[in-house]
Structures are given as structure tokens and as C-alpha cells.
Structure 1
Amino acid sequence: MNFKLTRIAPTPSGYLHLGNAYSFLVTKALAEKSGAKILLRIDDLDRERFRMEYLADIFETLDFLEISYDLGPKGPEDFLVNWTQLNRLDLYREALEKLWTEGCLFSCTCSRKKISQMNSSGYYLGHCLDRNISKTKKEAAWRINTFEDELVKIQDIHGKSKEEVLPEDVAFFIVRKKDEMPAYQLTSVIDDTHYGVDLIVRGKDLYNSSLAQVFLAKSLKDAAFEKVSFYHHPILKGPDGKKLAKSDGSTSIQFLRKSGKSLEEVYHLLGKMMQVEKPIRNFDEFKAALAF
């Protein structure tokens, strides 16, 4: 197992929680094991939910968790000047134009309500694919034509690859939103290629999203991203059995810090949620409890 660069990629749309901390620490552990450097890549294009306090929380949380990184902003001010995704809008738009020119995209005016009315699963099944809606239509999203039974090859950290059909929940996914801003799947692929990421660590709940991104890389003829290796870690759940969310303030690292919790106590909480037998008190014990 040998990689050059992985990344921690939080979004400043809420205070980071224990699930985020777990993912960051798994990334750190894999980076150490594989010799990879760490990039801090902050996804800030969701301007409606962006808050300066959430941006500051990212740096405060990494500092509290004692996670250092090799590439990325040194703080909020450095991020806003030198690392914001707004600085890379031209890269995203260039990729979108390439996809449109090659016939990979179509415009879609469907609302979430309309999609749910057309399909009880809530999945979008290509309603606007053959409607020939203008590229310049206002209030229209751009979706990618994912075709039927298209195989996607994805590689794990041990170099093993498997081919899968793109699942329905990510079929015809959006690459440009109705506000004309690039969508997450596209910006994530472009950013990872831009910085040279070859190892992506994320939760199992994002596996289908990973497949979508590999499909997108294939459409962009992005050979570098197609060779990226993925590790999908287990998802931490709260006492109610549900996935942790930013809306659950009691699990935020900020709340725990302000409540006087030490880093050792946070590791102990993570160990309990990981359901390991021995208590976890530090990073070495956390790393020893992981099975890669």
C-alpha cells in the first residue's frame, strides 16, 4: 500500500461532529500507513449554508484532534484568499463545457417535488433526457447522461478493482445546479485531479457517490482520477441507531470542547461508538483498532 496524497474535505455548512472526527482520524491513519501526504480541501461552493464560524470550526477541530496536514490553507483568512473553490470556477466551467460539447449533458427543469411524484423512490430516471431543453434555459440544472447498465470500475486500497452498474440513486446526477454553480460531484473530481489526490477516504454511505465520480472522470477522460483508490469506512451511529449529522449539536466537536471534554475523552467516545472491546484513549490506540 503506497500512495502520494489523500485529503480531508470538510464543508463549512455546520459544526463538525464525531462522525467527521472519525473520518479525519481514519484518513490520518491511512496516510501514515501508506506514506501519503494530507491535503486539507474545504468545499465552500454551497454559499447559502457557508458561515465564517463553520469555516473557523474546521481549523479549530483539526487543531483539537491534533491532525496536521501537508498541503492546504493555514487558517480561515488564508483559505478565503488562496484556497476557496471560487478561485477554481474557471476549471469547473471548462469541464462543464467539455462535457456539454461532447454530448454528455442535458438540461433539466424538474423540481424535487415533481421527481418524487414521477417516481415513488425519489430517484430521477431521466425525464428531461429527450426533451431537448436549451442549454441556456434559466432555472435549469445540467445533468449527465449515465446511460443504461453502464459499468463503472472502482479500485480499493489493496489494488483490487471491481465493475458495477451505476445505481439508480445516482443516475443522471447533477453537475451544474439551477443557480448555474458547479455541483459537488463535478467540483470534487476536478479538485482531486487538480491537486493530485490518489487516495480517497470516505464513509460507506458515499460509496454510490464514489461510483458517480468515477463515471464522471471517465466521461471527462480523466485517466488520473479513474486510477484513484478508495477506502470506504464504517459509519458511526448515535444511540438512536441513526447516522450522525451536523444538525445534531450534541455530537459536535465544538459542543464537546466547550463542555470541557478532553481529547482523551473524545477518543473514548469514538471507541464506544466503534464498539471496540478495549477503551481508546489516544491516536495510537485508535489506529490499532482499525482493520484496513
Structure 2
Amino acid sequence: MNNLPTFTKTRLAPTPSGYLHLGNILSFLITSALARRHQAKILLRIDDLDRSRVKDAFIDDIFETLHFLEIPWDEGPKDTADFKSNFSQVQRMDLYENALKELAEKNACFACVCSRKKIVESGKSKGYPGFCKRLHIPLSRKGCCWRYGTSREKSVPIIIYPDQLVNSDFPVGMKDYVVRKKDGYPAYQLSSVVDDVHFGIDLIVRGVDLWDSTLAQIDLASNLPDCQPFQSAVFFHHQLMKDGEHKMAKSSGSTSIQFLRKNGAKKADIYREISKFLNLPTLATSHDQFIELYNRDASQQ
């Protein structure tokens, strides 16, 4: 564990569109372990821009679950009321709008009026088919989304934890992805980049399912002068816990911490389950024990 790179801050970034499940906790605990290993602070950043799916009960669940499992954080909201008053993404709309304005001024995005059904029926499963790319629809048109114009020929430099710089081809599936939704709110790819830069995040822990998003966001940051620091962030992509053959989802209540607790699961049971998945030599039963075991196991590999 000598000569480890230093990081300033990492984050827990749940979305309150459902109850937290075991997969979320896996990511939180790996984040907590890496933060302890590198003496980095942890920010709790709740992504609530998907306004149609956000519910107070899901926000409450985030705090209840973190407290139940005794997972700490250093910065961010203390509870639901504090979050709504001081930390909601809605309060950072000016930052997102400035970023969107920069993209528009650079002609880096285009308006799209395609429905999801039309895109699906196009038969092209990899990325946006490009129907609106050359139609020059005004960005001011109501009911349109904004897509970030991309090229399949790009190579994206990414720093993989702890300090390996690699170059990866731009993911085909992220071709011309949405940066501003039809409801006027910024899309996840843009808001996540802006938030990470705003809060000074330099270590980002994610599941492997977000690898394409990471590459897309690094490329996006290259077109936003204020977001240049994002290109220097270090990324750790972990394996996913699965519910059968599929990754865990908030729509599957049987893996939610709330459901497990209602059916008798204790804090120690959750930690044992995560420990088993990670093949730790000893099954942890608490946060601090998990951190110790995870970091010790990593140092021996």
C-alpha cells in the first residue's frame, strides 16, 4: 500500500428512482474502501433530474439505508430536507445550462424530434440512426431534444485505477447521444460531468455497465472548457451483482435493502452477501470490517 496515488474526493451518486438494492451497496462500499485507502473525502450526490421518477420515499430510503449500514460520507446533504433545500440538482440548473450553451455555440449538438418508437423501428440497435442530424432543426424548437454530435472514429484517453492511461475506441452505442431532454432538463451524461467537476471529484467508482458512459463523458468534457479537469479523473469500474441472468435494477424489489430488511435481514447479512460476491477471504459483518478486509485483499493481489 506504499506509493499509492492520492485523490481528493470521490462520491456516492444514487438516483432516487427506486429503492436502493444490493448492487448499489456494492458500489458504495467499494467507493468507501477506496476513499479510505487513499484518504479521499466522500461526497453524497443524489441525482434527481429524472423528475418523473423521483419520489420522496426513494430519497428517504437513501438516507435510511446509508445510516442502517453505517456507510459514512463527508460532504453533501444530511437528510431529505437538507437535500431539497441545498443539494438538489435543480439548484445547479445554471451550470448545466451554461454547458449546453457552450455546446450550442460550438455547433457541437443538434436538435432531434425523433420518438423512441421511431428509433427502435429503424432496426439499428447500435446508436442513434441520424435521422435529424442534417435537418438543421433550430435548437429553440419546442419538444425537441439536443444530441451531442459524435464520430465513431474517435479514440478516448481514460485513466484506469490506480494510474493506467489507456486509449479506447468511442463506443458505437453512444453515437449522437442526448445531452438535453425534450422536457428541457439536461440529460445524465452532461449533468454528471458538470457535477463531478463542480464538486472537485477526481476518483469515480462505477459498474462496468457504465464504461460506455465514461468514454462518452470524457469526450464531452473535451468540448467544455470548464470541464477539462474531468479528463484527468481516475475511473474504477467494478463487476455487477446480478439478479439471475440480469443486473440488479430498482424495479426488482426482491434485492432492495428495504425488502430484505422487512424480511428479517440484518446489517451483518448485507455485508456477508457483498463479501461473498467479492470472494473476500473472510465475511465482513460491518462497514469498518469490510473496509479492512477489502483493502487488505487488494494489497495482496
Q: Name 1:223's counterpart in structure 2.
A: 228
Q: Name 1:159's counterpart in structure 2.
A: 163
Counterpart pick for 1:105 among 109, 122, 139: 109
Deviation at 1:270?
1.9
The alignment's TM-score, normalised by the length of structure 2, stands at 0.92
Verify the 8 A CA contact 2:272 2:283 in the aligned structure 1: yes
1:38-68 Cα distance to aligned partner (Å, 9 max, x none): 0000001111001000000000011011111
Give the SS at the match of 1:135. Answer: coil
Give the SS at the match of 1:14. Answer: coil
C-alpha separation in 1, matches of 2:240 and 2:265:
22
1:2-53 Cα distance to aligned partner (Å, 9 max, x none): 1000000001110000000111000000000011100000001111001000
1:181-214 Cα distance to aligned partner (Å, 9 max, x none): 1111111000110010000001011011000110
Verify the 8 A CA contact 2:202 2:233 in the aligned structure 1: yes
Q: Name 2:118's counterpart in structure 1.
A: 114
Give the SS at the match of 2:236. Answer: strand
Q: Name 2:271's counterpart in structure 1.
A: 267
Letter in 1 for 2:238: H
Give the SS at the match of 1:146. Answer: coil
Verify the 8 A CA contact 1:116 1:122 in the aligned structure 2: no
C-alpha separation in 2, matches of 1:281 and 1:84:
33
Q: Name 1:21's counterpart in structure 2.
A: 25
Verify the 8 A CA contact 2:69 2:287 in the aligned structure 1: no
Verify the 8 A CA contact 2:71 2:287 in the aligned structure 1: no
1:154-187 Cα distance to aligned partner (Å, 9 max, x none): 1012221111221111111100001111111111
Q: Name 1:233's counterpart in structure 2.
A: 238
C-alpha separation in 1, matches of 2:164 and 2:103:
29
Q: Name 2:254's counterpart in structure 1.
A: 250
Counterpart pick for 2:148 among 140, 144, 160: 144
Verify the 8 A CA contact 2:9 2:42 in the aligned structure 1: yes
Q: Does 1:134 align with 2:138?
A: yes
C-alpha separation in 1, matches of 2:65 and 2:186:
28
What pairs with 1:6-155 in structure 2 (closer than 5 Å)?
6-121=10-125, 123-155=127-159
C-alpha separation in 2, matches of 1:53 and 1:21:
18
Give the SS at the match of 1:119. Answer: coil
What pairs with 1:174-193 in structure 2 (closer than 5 Å)?
174-193=178-197
Give the SS at the match of 1:230. Answer: strand
Q: Name which of structure 1's ranges 23-32 and 118-127 shifts more when overlaid on structure 2.
A: 118-127
C-alpha separation in 2, matches of 1:146 and 1:215:
9
Letter in 2 for 1:100: A
C-alpha separation in 1, matches of 2:279 and 2:252:
21
Verify the 8 A CA contact 1:99 1:105 in the aligned structure 2: yes
Letter in 1 for 2:232: K
Verify the 8 A CA contact 1:115 1:123 in the aligned structure 2: no
* Number of corresponding residues: 291
Letter in 2 for 1:118: S
Letter in 2 for 1:84: S
Structure 1 stretches of 5 or more lacking a match?
A: none
Deviation at 1:218?
0.5
The alignment's TM-score, normalised by the length of structure 1, stands at 0.95
1:205-258 Cα distance to aligned partner (Å, 9 max, x none): 1011000110110111322111010000111112x2321111111111111222
Letter in 2 for 1:127: F
The alignment's C-alpha RMSD in Å is 1.5
Letter in 1 for 2:234: S
Deviation at 1:284?
4.8
C-alpha separation in 2, matches of 1:103 and 1:85:
26
